[in-house]
Chains A and B, each alone.
Chain A
């Protein structure tokens, strides 16, 4: 088996587990929906125009929900020592990391595909153009989130307080992505595409760096 097919084995396994248990996607989706509803109650989209803060609300919902999903990604492997099984299987650690990253990324994108139209409707955002660019922003932002998030979730799963620890670790380190992606999403939705390319380049650079470093470090992170 080549490197890629080993990685795909891990992805396939995760998708299969999710398809059978349907536990992560659903809980993440419902949680994100709850966040949107809370924002709806807090800001009241009937009386106020939420256009200015829509991008921020959307990303808060996605990132909070995504953190929940990331927690599951390694915690679920602790049941029956499944992680041990993964580690001793003839799959190298980097493949495990890459596979986990890809499945997390796919889950997040699936959630966002459902949530984006829902949040536009719920928060009454006057959306008419820029769907393609918005898609690109979602992909780039989610990529970075999944890359560093997968690594941190693996680390946090080894601690007593993993559910609390993951958000504590992830949000400061993710600050550049949060800043860039909310800003660029806001610009795209507002129809101002002049600053989009620099933001995309910045996000792409972050994505590459924070996929590469965990990829190299992951070798050392799991137990022998």
Chain B
């Protein structure tokens, strides 16, 4: 845990240095292009988070072990967080590059829908009744939601092809140092995700244990009052 924290911190500083100082400035877009490193890293981590939700959901339905549910929930929370970061950074980029905050750009739009899907997932986790039932229906949602992601992506691309393409920089020529900066950003974000996930799962574990201890206390209290 501690090593991971240090590693993430150090890599984070390196990634910032690479992205802001070492990587060359993009000719057309200028400084705002540097958002790109953190934008891509956020999006990648978000997808990773949702993949973990998917796998943990399947594992939960197969085994019924509560740890999988806790893992899925924790990862979904982080996934939503990183999706929000990807959306916000994408919008900032859009503002800098095209002058508008939101232009229904296909990838950003499907990311937005993805965000809504997992907001729904978290909402379900929070409002479902009964502990085991909650875990089961959340797992169902975690599976079907993830399988829908590529289809949503496809349909949004197709939908946008109706509209004229807005002027935007073509495929960016990546300088080698840009690639390195991106790689460091992605690795840092991934480690940060793993670190946060560990804490989040631990919190859920503790919450679970506390719940059981309270249950035991209540039973003992009831038994004592019967005797007294």
Min CB–CB distance B91 → chain A (angstroms): 19
User: Contacts A213-B147, A214-B144 known; A179 to B159 CB distance under 8 Å?
Assistant: yes
Q: Is the CB of A151 closer than 8 A to any CB of chain B? A: yes
Contact indicator A220/B133 (Cβ below 8 Å): no
Does A47 belong to the interface (CB within 8 Å)?
no
A165 at the interface (CB under 8 A from B): yes
6 additional A-B residue pairs with CB within 8 Å, beyond A152-B141, A155-B141: A155-B140, A158-B137, A172-B117, A175-B113, A180-B158, A221-B137
B196 adjacent to chain A (CB < 8 Å): no
How many whole Å from A54's CB to the nearest CB in chain B? 16
Contact with A along B131-146 (1 / 0, CB 8 A): 0011011011101110
B residues lining the A interface (CB < 8 Å)? 61, 113-114, 116-117, 119-120, 123-124, 127-130, 133-134, 136-137, 139-141, 143-145, 147-148, 151-152, 154-156, 158-159, 162
What is the chain B residue whose CB lies nearest that of A176? B155
Contact call A175/B129, Cβ cutoff below 8 A = no
Judged by a CB distance under 8 angstroms, whether A12 is at the interface is no
Please determine whether B140 and A172 come into contact, CB atoms closer than 8 angstroms. Answer: no
Known: A168-B120, A202-B155, A220-B140. A176 touches B129 (CB 8 A): no
CB of A159 within 8 A of CB of B127, answer: yes
**Is the C-beta of A107 less than 8 angstroms from some C-beta in chain B?**
no
State A165–B210 Cα separation when bound (angstroms).
Answer: 29
A196, CB-defined interface residue at 8 Å: no
Contact B144 A148 (CB under 8 A): yes
12 A/B residue pairs, CB under 8 Å, sorted by A: A158-B130, A160-B128, A168-B119, A169-B124, A172-B152, A173-B117, A179-B158, A202-B155, A213-B143, A217-B143, A220-B136, A220-B140
Q: Roughly how many angstroms separate A175 CA and B144 CA in the complex, as a whole number?
A: 14
Bound Cα distance from A148 to B144, whole angstroms: 9
A217/B140 in contact, CB under 8 A: yes
Q: Across the interface, do A158 and B128 meet the contact criterion of CB distance under 8 Å?
A: yes
A179 and B120: CB pair below 8 A? no
Contacts of A171 in B (CB 8 A): 116
Decide yes or no whether A6 CB sits under 8 A from chain B. Answer: no
- Verify A221–B129 contact, CB threshold 8 A: no
Answer whether residue A223 sits at the interface, using C-beta atoms and an 8 A cutoff.
yes
In the complex, which of the residues A159, A165, A173 contacts B145, with contact meaning CB atoms closer than 8 Å? Answer: A173
